[in-house]
Amino acid sequence: MTKTPEIVSVTIHADGACSGNPGPGGWAWEILGGDDALICEDAGGELDATNNKMELRACAEALTALLGLAKDGGAPVTSARLRLDSEHVVKGCGEWLPNWKASGWRTAARKPVANDTVWKRIDTLRLSLADKGVRLEFEWVKGHSGDGGNERVDSKAFEMSQSLRAGAAATSASPEISSPENGGGDLFRNGFEAAARAAMRFRPDLAQGFSEAEIIAILSAIHATQSDASQSNTTQSNTTQSNTAQSDTAS
């Protein structure tokens, strides 16, 4: 006798954060099964983002993972409750999205929908999940109110945004500020360490088994190469300007 697979109802927590708005942003999500057992989770980010975009990315990435679960041939997922602290995303998914789509992705004020690329992705995922028989429910939860799931994904999204911010600050600092003799060596070190920790914790697939020390060494070598190239270009530019000035004087 064939055993009927257990029907699964899951809960999804998703959140986004941004260090500056716009600025480096992070997103995170987790999918929980019965007894709040963790099924899967992920986190990521973008260097140039807004808080709303990261909230949307968190939702879209979670729905992508949910669709993967619905397709994997295991226990059928029949319903998913997405608990988000963004009223914008909850109302957009539950109320506004069909009207935006029918209006050519314009709001009631006839303005283009912001972050429409992510919204369109969410719409496609929503329809694909419906085809798989998965019912979605979007629920707003007050942020920083002690909700365990929301606090977890909020912390991960925030940490990702801070890691990206530190890495960006390190790689964009000028040689005069960042050189060890001028006291800036720690800026790069801290930024590279933050990026390495984020890669190992949230994206082990990208870390590819490298240790934290090895990732830091790789980032340092890349930065050194870029700095050398930048200084070489600056020297060549200064030489060209000097030669031009001498030529103008001679004529």
Phi/psi for 134 (5° steps) reads -95, 125
Q: Say whether 13 is catalytic.
A: no
**Listed residue (75, 92, 96) closest to 84, CA to CA:** 92
> Residues 13, 16, 26, 61: which is the catalytic one?
16
Mean pLDDT of the 26-34 span: 94
d(CA 195, CA 160): 9
**Listed residue (113, 110, 29, 35) closest to 69, CA to CA:** 29
Q: Say whether 88 is catalytic.
A: no
Average pLDDT of the chain to the nearest whole number: 78
Secondary structure in 3-state letters for 73-88: CCCCEEEEEEEECCHH
Mean pLDDT of the 97-121 span: 95
Q: How many CA atoms lie within 13 Å of 94's alpha carbon, on the beta-carbon side? A: 15
Q: Say whether 186 is catalytic.
A: no
Q: Say whether 116 is catalytic.
A: no
Higher pLDDT, 243 or 34: 34
Q: Say whether 16 is catalytic.
A: yes
Q: Say whether 55 is catalytic.
A: yes
Amino acid code (one letter) for 53: K
CATH of region 8-156 = 3.30.420.10
- Would you state the pLDDT for residue 177? 35
> Residues 30, 61, 85, 193: which is the catalytic one?
85
Higher pLDDT, 183 or 75: 75
Instruction: For the chain, give every domain's residue range.
Output: 8-156, 173-230
Residue 138 has pLDDT above 90, yes or no: yes
- Would you state the pLDDT for residue 106? 95
> Residues 30, 42, 46, 55: which is the catalytic one?
55
Paired tokens of 48: 């140039």
